[in-house]
Amino acid sequence: MLRKIFYPFLFAAFPIFSIYYSNIAEVYPLSFWKPLVVSLLYALLTGFEPPVVRATLMVLASTLAVYFGRESLPIWNLLLAAFLIIFIWPQAVFEVSFQLTFAATLGIMTLGQYLIKVWQKIPLIGQNAAIATSAYIFTAPIILYYFGRISPLAPLANILVAEAIFPVMVLGFAIAILGFIFLPLAQLVAYAVYVPALYFVKVVELFAKIPVDQLQFGRGNLAMVVGLYLLILSLIWIWTSKSKSKSKV
């Protein structure tokens, strides 16, 4: 009970501390505060369950990083969010949900930013492809460690359903609020959310029927996880070094 009372103060303290650290003196517009407030409301709506709080803190870290647009601040915000999570829930370090969330966020903040620059010219799906691919690459070692298998079609499926996630979440949030205010209006909005939700389900069902075997190896192999992450980080370092050298020329 005390933790749930403490959570709103945690959400408020995190962006304020990050703003102080950024050393930027300006008046922050509504576009900055809106995602922070929405994140807090979403966590409040779900009852401040630990997995939701952890994921929301990661969202706040990403939002602050994108807003300030610095190269060093994204990693700092991610580490700050992870520190707060581990401070409150020490056992979170050993939970799959926290590890996957941290890995996916790290992938989007690092590899994803470079992929966006390369693939942004691809119409409609360029940015989604960059985010889905970077998150997939950084979470693959953890998925293999715990489950021993992974689908090679997952990035493509994530790219195709990415655009449907946002309207489903926003309209679902609106339905929850309108249900307390005016139920007929909530039912009307529910009909609107049916279209993207149906599209999401059908894409998942389609990819589930494709006869492609999953990659199966490495379950419980910690050395494999360390090796894969070293390989991923090494390739990113080589790629970014070559990109910077070309830009200087």
Local structure of 232: helix, strand or coil: helix
Find tokens 């894409």 and name the residue.
Answer: 203
CB-CB contact of 135 with 157 (8 Å):
no
Q: What is the pTM of this model?
A: 0.73
pLDDT at 159: 86
pLDDT at 15: 46
Give the tokens for residue 235: 């390739």
Give the DSSP H or E segment for 149. Answer: strand 149-150
pLDDT at 245: 64
pLDDT at 227: 93
Alpha-carbon span 157 to 132, nearest angstrom: 9
Residue segments in the chain with a per-residue pLDDT below the cut of 50:
1-2, 5-6, 9-28, 71
Positive/negative CA dihedral, 219, 223, 229, 235:
negative
Alpha-carbon span 133 to 17, nearest angstrom: 31
Local structure of 213: helix, strand or coil: coil
CB-CB contact of 134 with 232 (8 Å):
no
Residue among 73, 52, 110 at smallest CA distance from 233: 110
Q: Which amino acid is at 36?
A: L
What are the angstrom distances between the C-alpha of 25 and each of 19, 21, 65, 68, 87? 9, 11, 16, 12, 29
CB-CB contact of 48 with 7 (8 Å):
yes
Q: What is the largest CA-CA distance in the chain?
A: 63
pLDDT at 27: 44
Q: Which amino acid is at 105?
A: T
For residue range 99-119, what is the model confidence (pLDDT) as tens digits?
Answer: 888 898 888 888 887 888 888
Residue 135: other Cβ atoms inside 10 A: 23
pLDDT at 223: 92
Give the DSSP letter string of 101-118. HHHHHHHHHTHHHHHHHH
pLDDT at 220: 87
pLDDT at 228: 92
Helix axes 50-68, 30-45, angle to 10 degrees: 170
